[in-house]
Amino acid sequence: MMRTALILTLLTSMAAHAAGPVESDLKNDAATPGDITTYGGGYDLQRHSPLKQIDRSNVSRLVPVWNLSLANNYPQEGQPLLIDGVMYETTTDATVALDPLTGKQLWRTPTTLPQDVHAVACCGSHNRGAAAYKGLLFRGTLDAFVIALDMKTGKEVWRQKAADYKDGYSMTGAPLIADGVLITGISGGEYGTRGFIDGWDPATGDKLWRRYTTAAPGEPGGDSWAGAEAYLEGGGPTWLTGSYDPDMNLVFWGTGNGGPWNPTGARKGQNLYICSALAIRPRTGEIVWHYQFSPNDPYDYDGVNELVLAELSIDGKPRKVILQANRNGFFYVLDRATGELLAANPFVDKINWAKGIDLESGLPIDTEMTTMVRNTPEMDAPVDVWPSALGGKNWMPMSYDPNTGLAYANTLNFGYPYRSISETKEPKTMYLGMEFVGFTWPENGMRGYLKAIDPLTGKAKWQVPSELPNFSGVLSTGGGLVFTGRMDGEFAAYDSATGEKLWGFQTGSGITGIPVTWERDGRQYVTIASGIGGVYSLFSGDERLQNIPPGGSLWTFALFNDKK
């Protein structure tokens, strides 16, 4: 009888696993190096793997195992998933399933897009990844649909419209499964849209709730908008994936810029909930707490950057915290349960929009320049603002190694000339209220740094300068390595203790993807997508990118085995 019960239990477990990840698989992702079931390699978004077969001593023996063409020239900013022996990768115009050991494509499902949708993708036509749950693979589309595909066949199971791309909306971020709910964000903050987060039934596609991220009159925070209708086009996009604490049952999701950038008109006020971290209940979308990084933001500093969950010792006591390297140039540490500000320090060298962050109020301390910008609807001449609209760090996710206590991030080192102007909202046209004319480059020529950052001080233990800024995600490992990609196409590994470059490989196109590592049959692999594009390519005018060809592909590496 006991034997029969055990067999039934095993069969039930195997059937559930064969059907794709369930709650337990998602919760345990960070501790199961043989698969990658979540965006971020775990609900905490730490992007740190304990795998250590590839380490400082042998990484120089890393060689490509296979390369798969993704058959498009769009930027590749995605992160693959690896589930039940199958790897899944999304692009702007397709979803691909492949054998992770050989790179052989198993199925490819095209995503048909209207041609005019690319006109409202402010910063490149890309897709950053998928979510998986109970046999279904979920992704967003550039024209703001959410679709579910059968993981075995790639066949579309359901499709739901989140918003109308003709109103300026798009969808580029990976979805999140939390407490059995499929959660998605939205892009479009530059087009006079109203941001939101949606909760969906993953089995049917039925919408369960919508949480708008600009507060309406009569709602909490509704009085933080001066104009009666300003919240309707006030921005607050939600285009990067949140993190999730199953024990607290809280999802943490970042919101973006206010619209238009120029805050001197109807957007006067604090403007909740733009540029904020929101703690929400996944079943209802209820906001439990919020913290606003940049109230009344005029500079496009956002708050969407990844909200990494960690445990730090503060005043001699362990605290469950959230870490964010914000685009405004400050590294924030928040209490995970309450949103209390615990630390906020510069992690880039040149910040001139604020003198610092007041720890008591949580508010930035404006410089005279920013006070002037907030109160001048039409500026006669531009002012030089650091960091630029692309921030001290842009969307590319950092990693956090709980063993070293350091965050590893690709940071940016340039400013931009800012001049407020009067502007009228037009369909499919950016609605900024400022004259965007490019960037101010640093005198030393180093436009970016890969940094190892102390979260509590913002100071770098080491930094690696680069003339071309890196726009790839970062992965740290138990082997003492930090992996990231470069815009010139090199995929590289660095010593996590010193920053010394230990290995590099030219992939053939610029890298803006997110590296992952995994293990199969006792062998460790590292995978990265290559394919140039994105916001820096579009707006920098950097002539050094002209000879870097487009073309999306997926690469996987392992240690050279000279015994075969």
Q: CA-to-CA distance for 119 and 510, rounded, in angstroms?
A: 23
Residue with tokens 């002012």: 383
How many of the other CB atoms lie within 10 Å of CB of 173? 24
Q: CA-to-CA distance for 131 and 81, rounded, in angstroms?
A: 8
Q: CA-to-CA distance for 40 and 453, rounded, in angstroms?
A: 19
**Amino acid letter, residue 255:** T
Among 128, 239, 246, smallest CA distance to 181 is for: 246
Q: Which tokens belong to 382?
A: 């531009």
Residue with tokens 């199958």: 86
Q: Using an 8 Å Cβ cutoff, are 20 and 151 in contact?
A: yes
Largest CA distance in the chain: 85
Residue with tokens 């109020």: 361
Q: Using an 8 Å Cβ cutoff, are 342 and 330 in contact?
A: no
Catalytic residue, candidates 35, 55, 245, 300: 300
How many of the other CB atoms lie within 10 Å of CB of 361? 9
- The kind and range of the H/E element at 88 are strand 86-91
Q: Which tokens belong to 92?
A: 């702007």
Tell me how long the chain is.
564
**Amino acid letter, residue 272:** L
**Is 300 assigned a catalytic role?**
yes
- Residues marked as catalytic: 300
